[in-house]
Amino acid sequence: MPAYNRNERRKSMAERRPSASYAPSKIPHLTGLEKPNEHSLKLDHCDILILGTGLVESVLAAALAWQGVEVLHIDHNNYYGDSSSTLTIDQLKKWCIEVNQGKVRHFLDAQIYIPGGKRTNEFNSKDYGIDLTPRIVFSQLDLLALLIKSRVYKYLEFQSLLNFHVFENDNFKSNISNTTKEHIFTDQLLSLTTKRLLMKFLKFVLQDNNDPEKKKILVDNSHVKIEDFLANSFGLKLPQLDELIYLIGLANRSGTRTPEAVARIKRFLVSFDVYGNFPVMVSKYGGPGEISQGFCRSAAVAGTTYKLDTTLVDFDPQLKIAKFSDGSSVKIQEKVVAAPTQVPKFLATSYKEASEKLQPFTVTRLTTIVRKDCKEWMSENESSAVVVFPPESLPTNNVHTVQVVIQNGGSGVCPQGQSIWYSHTCEQNADKAKKDLESAFEKMENAILRESATNLENLLDKKDFVVNDRGTPMLVNSFKLGESLQSFVPKETLDIVCKFGYVQTTYINPDLSNVLSASNTSNNITHATVSDTDDIMFLNMPSAEISYDGIISEVKMLYKRITGSDEDFFDVDFEDEDDDYERAAASTSAVIDSELDMNDDLDYDPVHHEPFGAGEMEL
């Protein structure tokens, strides 16, 4: 294994292409944050000390800093993001070693495989940006609203994501990710009866949550499984159940309660036509790690002091003096906020005692880089896709879903002609989870090889095609697995650059019920903190949720515990002369790196926007 270059750091989006449209009085370069300036070297006090530059910690630092709170933000790594980092391959090698040595709390069993042979050294580590906790951004989401409000979106670049695929009956079926009335009624694979049942359910989902009839139905079915609700109340059956629950709702297992499942499905539907004819976006050049850096830059503009490669080595709770690995000492006026992976040794016992009160959940992840761009799975001009394997869809009889996010070189996370497959499952048995992930990889590998094969001409016939609305014949499924192809078995295998897996633990329930529940109080905020001391707050690990749901609510809980109220959370006048909230929201679409023609999609009111248009969901 080649020696790890400690100074290696993949440049962030902000460094590669600084935004010319955002010009505060001072934008600190990340290199400046890593090498403390004279002010930080002379720092002798602060209000809040935050350990770790993960996404939650970075948003919290920026929120506090913009309200005049003096924040010292440190990380014992020499890169940003902590457990939400975007890392190079060489950084991953070192990270895996540290995990298996027990040096990275809440991660275990890290394995990395790089094939040998003549192609082993045919890649540059810095060409890859691999997320430890990959995420997708729903267009109608509180995080995106905060990115706009805080102007952090101007440090980032977004791409659209339209293609969602579901695997069922040992086959990749056509999806209903473009869930509009026109799409459903022109889908030749659906019967007229099924189309009307689908439209009836979607109309119910899109009703206002305060509608008395909808509210009563949800209350009456509050403990009913969503599968039973869809079958009994709307007459829906497979495969629509899988597509609605696991593809659109992105549920992680069967048996989700009806209100939660309906909310997840609505999250998808209302995200269409906010910034274009797609429901989801991904941040280019990396996910949570890039967004974390954006909020760190915002916090630095507001006065936060940053130190990387720095560890808290001692804290006197009486004098409130913190001592660091670089020899400096700082008085902490208020609190110490610590990410789980950054808890110093002298606080390990306190953290363990506090965390033992909570139920742990595991997330098993498998990330594979392949030398194939997988464009067959993506819409034109897009660089990402999502694949979902519902329960019991794999030969391993998976109980939990396997969710996969695919990004190719167009997303800036790997070279052109390659792609990264991020897959994960919430299966709590680690051995079973690994088998499920490997089985899903094998199914996807066969599918993409079959899709991209050049010797299929003699295997296709008329039943494998439908005619689209432009009169052009097209294959029935987004994955070319028409009936004539099911017996086609590729003889080759994918060329793998790197394969990387690990198990992550968290105290956030995979269904986010202990994050988003209205019953959470300051005494049982299990998602936000596992500490009951006055001076030190221990945070949580990232959840298994594929979206950014729950992030902002978690930060607000923390902010309220620190300041006493969340009413002024990012309540900041950025003094942009010609840039109010609505104009900022509209201009966000300009940084979505897609060549889709969206000229007609930008004329909307972001506050009162109706995604489907007036009356469009009428039967």
Give DSSP secondary structure letters for 7-47: T--PPPHHHHS--SS---S----HHHHHS--HHHHT--EEE
User: Quick one: CA dihedral 232, 241, 182, 268, positive or negative?
Assistant: positive
Average pLDDT in the 79-89 region?
94
Query: Are 519 and 387 members of one domain?
Result: no
Q: State which amino acid sits at residue 131.
A: D
- Answer yes or no: is pLDDT of 382 > 50: yes
Tokens of 100: 């298996």
Q: In 10 A of CB 112, how many CB atoms?
A: 17
Comparing 199-203, 292-296, 358-362, 521-525, which segment has the lowest mean pLDDT?
A: 521-525
- Residue from 154, 480, 311 nearest 322 by CA: 311
Query: Are 298 and 416 members of one domain?
Result: no
pTM summary value: 0.83
Average pLDDT in the 27-55 region?
69
Last residue of a domain, one of 563, 586, 601: 563
Q: What pLDDT is attached to residue 276?
A: 84
SS3 category, 41: helix
Query: Are 352 and 365 members of one domain?
Result: no
Any domain includes 5: no
Q: What pLDDT is attached to residue 603?
A: 30
Any domain includes 189: no
Query: Are 403 and 318 members of one domain?
Result: no
Burial class (CB in 10 A: 0-12, 13-18, 19+), 185: middle
CATH number, domain containing residue 343? 3.50.50.60
Place of tokens 């009913």: 224
Furthest-apart CA atoms within the chain: distance in Å? 80
Structural domain including 424 reads 89-125+361-456+488-506
- Confidence band of 9 (pLDDT split at 50, 70, 90): low
Convert the pLDDT of each residue in 132-165 to its tens digit.
999 999 998 899 999 999 999 988 999 999 889 9
Tokens of 45: 């006090």
- Answer yes or no: is pLDDT of 586 > 60: no
At a CB cut-off of 8 Å and minimum separation 6, what does 57 contact?
Answer: 50, 51, 73, 82, 292, 337, 339, 539
Of the two residues 313 and 526, the one the predictor is more confident about is 313
CATH number, domain containing residue 446? 3.30.519
- Confidence band of 467 (pLDDT split at 50, 70, 90): low
Place of tokens 């019967």: 191
Q: What pLDDT is attached to residue 414?
A: 96
Any domain includes 497: yes
Four-CA torsion 544, 550, 551, 556, nearest 10 degrees: -150
CA distance 63 to 50: 13
Query: Are 432 and 500 members of one domain?
Result: yes
Q: What angle do CA 178, 212, 206 make, to 5 degrees?
A: 5
Q: State which amino acid sits at residue 575.
A: E
Given a contact cutoff of 8 angstroms between Cβ atoms, the answer to whether 406 and 383 are in contact is: no
Query: Are 304 and 385 members of one domain?
Result: no
Convert the pLDDT of each residue in 344-371 to its tens digit.
999 998 888 888 888 999 999 999 999 9
- Confidence band of 457 (pLDDT split at 50, 70, 90): low
Taking each continuous run of H as one helix and of E as one strand, the counts in the chain are 18, 22
Query: Are 493 and 522 members of one domain?
Result: no
Q: What is the DSSP string of 184-213?
A: HHH-TTS-HHHHHHHHHHHHHHTS-TT-HH
Residue 507 CA from chain centroid, whole number: 17
Comparing 36-40, 307-311, 542-546, which segment has the lowest mean pLDDT?
A: 36-40
Q: What pLDDT is attached to residue 612?
A: 27
Q: What pLDDT is attached to residue 608?
A: 30
- Confidence band of 167 (pLDDT split at 50, 70, 90): confident
Any domain includes 182: no
Task: State the total domains in the chain.
Answer: 2
Any domain includes 494: yes
Q: Which helix (H) or strand (E) holds 334?
A: strand 329-338
User: Quick one: CA dihedral 91, 97, 102, 108, positive or negative?
Assistant: positive
- Answer yes or no: is pLDDT of 521 > 70: no
Query: Are 379 and 442 members of one domain?
Result: yes
Any domain includes 142: no
Average pLDDT, the chain: 80
Convert the pLDDT of each residue in 413-434 to its tens digit.
999 999 999 999 999 999 999 9
Q: What pLDDT is attached to residue 480?
A: 43
CA distance 60 to 76: 18
Q: What pLDDT is attached to residue 533?
A: 59
| Torsional class of 35: left (φ above 0), alpha (ψ -120 to 50), beta (otherwise) | beta
Q: What pLDDT is attached to residue 390?
A: 94
Query: Are 293 and 324 members of one domain?
Result: yes
- Answer yes or no: is pLDDT of 328 > 70: yes
Last residue of a domain, one of 563, 583, 599: 563
Query: Are 447 and 335 members of one domain?
Result: no
Average pLDDT in the 122-138 region?
93
Query: Are 335 and 404 members of one domain?
Result: no
- Answer yes or no: is pLDDT of 492 > 80: no
Convert the pLDDT of each residue in 21-38 to its tens digit.
333 333 344 444 445 455
Q: What pLDDT is attached to residue 470?
A: 57
At a CB cut-off of 8 Å and minimum separation 6, what does 65 contact?
Answer: 71, 298, 299, 302, 303, 304
- Answer yes or no: is pLDDT of 338 > 90: yes
Q: What pLDDT is attached to residue 463?
A: 60
Query: Are 353 and 365 members of one domain?
Result: no
Q: What pLDDT is attached to residue 132?
A: 96
CA distance 615 to 619: 9
CA distance 30 to 129: 17
Average pLDDT in the 8-32 region?
45
Of the two residues 597 and 312, the one the predictor is more confident about is 312
Q: What pLDDT is attached to residue 38?
A: 54
DSSP bridge pairs for 365: 424, 502
Looking at the chain, the whole-number percentage of residues with pLDDT higher than 70 is 72
Instruction: Give the end-to-end CA distance of the chain in Å, rounded to a whole number.
Output: 62
SS3 category, 614: coil
- Report in angstroms the alpha-carbon separations of 557 from 275, 303, 546, 567: 29, 22, 21, 11
- Confidence band of 278 (pLDDT split at 50, 70, 90): confident
CA distance 293 to 91: 17
Any domain includes 56: yes
SS3 category, 586: helix
